[in-house]
Structure 1
Amino acid sequence: MSFGDPNNPYGQQPQQPPQGGPYGQQQGQPGYGYPQGQQAPQGVPPQQGYGYPQQPGQAPGQPQYGAYPQAPGTLQANNGMINVPVLGTVEVASMGRRLGARLIDGAAIGIILGILMAVGLAGAVGIAKDCDPNSVDYTSCMNDASAGFISVMFTWIAVIGAFTLLYEWLMVSLVGATLGKMALGLRVVKENTGQNPGLGAGFIRYIIPIVGAFLCYIGAILVYLSPFFDNSGKLQGWHDRAAGTLVIKKP
């Protein structure tokens, strides 16, 4: 006769809690989750219970590493890498590369506009050379030549504005890069989508330095240097912040 637990007057053994699933099967067994004696339908894997799939070396109940990717626009440990939707982890463009791209664009635009200006000035000078100093119409001829020269200058200024507008605005908006940025492997993207900026954001990004240029061009210089003032690490200038864009190294 076994006395057992002195606090148990009936001498019965304490019942053990049931093991396994709701029908007594152990987790991972073929019939887990089904009434005892029944098997899971063919082709249906046994139920694994709740929680995250456990990986080798992973503590039970912990989520799988990498299950929660960093949010878009998140810098990684200040190493110049940033998460951008669609593109994944990319490198923020350095100011050296951006300056180099700007110089290439300036040289390309300068060559094209220089050719156009030379053609216009040649036409104005040709009119002046045709004026005969001994002719009674000499004064009138020179006035026409001066008016032609002034017309060429204003036309040249208008061409500069239109060409730079179409070049910078349309190429960044639709392609994501100018010729200079293409040459140095840079691209302008929307920070929240990873896509090309589009006409609206591209125009905002273009017009802010132009407005600053009316202040003896000092404002434009400050806009182009403003990425140095960005303490977020993304090197976004004032024009990039206004447009919601980001300059990255092309992946």
Structure 2
Amino acid sequence: MSFGDPNNPYGQPQGQQPGGYGQPQQPGYGQQPGGYGQPQGQPGYGQPQQGPPQQSQYGYPQAPPVQPYDAYQQPGYGSGMPELANWGYRFGAGLIDGLISSGPYLALAVGGSPTMLLIGYAWLIAAMVFIAYREGTTGQSPGKQVLGIKLLREQDGQIVGFGKAFLRRLAHIVDALPCYIGYLWPAWDQKKQTFADKICSTVVIKSN
């Protein structure tokens, strides 16, 4: 009487492991093949995770690179960056500011006396400083306030400050040099900037 193959004393079919009552043994004591109870298809212990934070050479996660603020595409303050002011708004605001600064100067210069001319120059300089101060601290000159537009930094959409606003006023000389084409540049420029805006990295937006 034969008790079976001596190499297979329990009578199990060849090729199967003794995993308990003839069932194939599962890896990890009934766990899925992911290892240590991980669901199938998920990375298990010792397997690389997907999308880990980038590590620096010292083992600390590296901060994502700072992207430059793009005023005509990226959201600014509030729910989104307001629309850029077109050439018509900018021309109207510049006309109002020009009347405030140059109007009294021209009226005083008509007299022709040195004293009146000196007073006219003093008014012109004071008016330019005042307009730059308003633009730098509030974003709006008197003309920009009337037209509802505002001057901001292109990088982050913040107020430019008096120093940069005054420098921008001086940079308008570049706008005037090539037949005043710099003042017309916002009519077709993608960011609606004058040459002075590009030099100082500023934009003019509609504030309401």
How would you bin the TM-score normalised by the shorter chain?
0.5 to 0.7
Provide the C-alpha distance between the structure 2 equivalents of 1:166 and 1:13, rounded to a whole number of angstroms: 88
* DSSP-derived class of the 2:205 partner: strand
* DSSP-derived class of the 1:100 partner: helix
Provide the C-alpha distance between the structure 2 equivalents of 1:86 and 1:204, rounded to a whole number of angstroms: 28
Output aligned runs, 1:83-232, within 5 Å: 83-84=75-76, 88-113=80-105, 117=108, 121=111, 149-152=112-115, 154-209=117-172, 211-212=173-174, 218-219=177-178, 221-228=180-187, 230=189
Provide the C-alpha distance between the structure 2 equivalents of 1:15 and 1:155, rounded to a whole number of angstroms: 99
TM-score under structure 2 normalisation?
0.63
Among residues 175, 196, 205, which one is paired with 1:239 in the alignment? 196
Cα–Cα, structure 1 residues 247 and 112, in superposed 2: closer, same or farther, change >3 Å? Answer: same
Return the structure number with greater helix share.
Answer: 1
Q: CA deviation at 1:250?
A: 0.9
Provide the C-alpha distance between the structure 2 equivalents of 1:202 and 1:100, rounded to a whole number of angstroms: 19
- In the alignment of these two chains, the number of paired residues is 170
**Any stretches of 5+ residues in structure 1 without a counterpart?**
27-49, 52-69, 77-81, 122-148
Cα–Cα, structure 1 residues 152 and 2, in superposed 2: closer, same or farther, change >3 Å? Answer: farther
Q: CA deviation at 1:156?
A: 4.4
1:73–1:192 contact (8 Å) kept in structure 2: yes
Q: Tell me the equivalent position of 2:69.
A: 72
* DSSP-derived class of the 1:246 partner: strand
Q: Tell me the equivalent position of 1:249.
A: 206
* DSSP-derived class of the 2:83 partner: strand
Cα–Cα, structure 1 residues 223 and 163, in superposed 2: closer, same or farther, change >3 Å? Answer: farther
Q: Determine what percentage of the aligned residue pairs are the same residue.
A: 28
Provide the C-alpha distance between the structure 1 equivalents of 2:179 and 2:171, rounded to a whole number of angstroms: 8
2:134–2:140 contact (8 Å) kept in structure 1: yes
* DSSP-derived class of the 2:75 partner: strand
Per-residue CA deviations over 1:41-97 (Å, capped at 9, x if unaligned) read xxxxxxxxx99xxxxxxxxxxxxxxxxxx8621644xxxxx5335774221111111
Cα–Cα, structure 1 residues 86 and 9, in superposed 2: closer, same or farther, change >3 Å? Answer: closer
Q: CA deviation at 1:166?
A: 1.5
TM-score under structure 1 normalisation?
0.53
1:93–1:247 contact (8 Å) kept in structure 2: yes
Cα–Cα, structure 1 residues 9 and 24, in superposed 2: closer, same or farther, change >3 Å? Answer: closer
Q: CA deviation at 1:173?
A: 1.3
Provide the C-alpha distance between the structure 2 equivalents of 1:112 and 1:157, rounded to a whole number of angstroms: 7
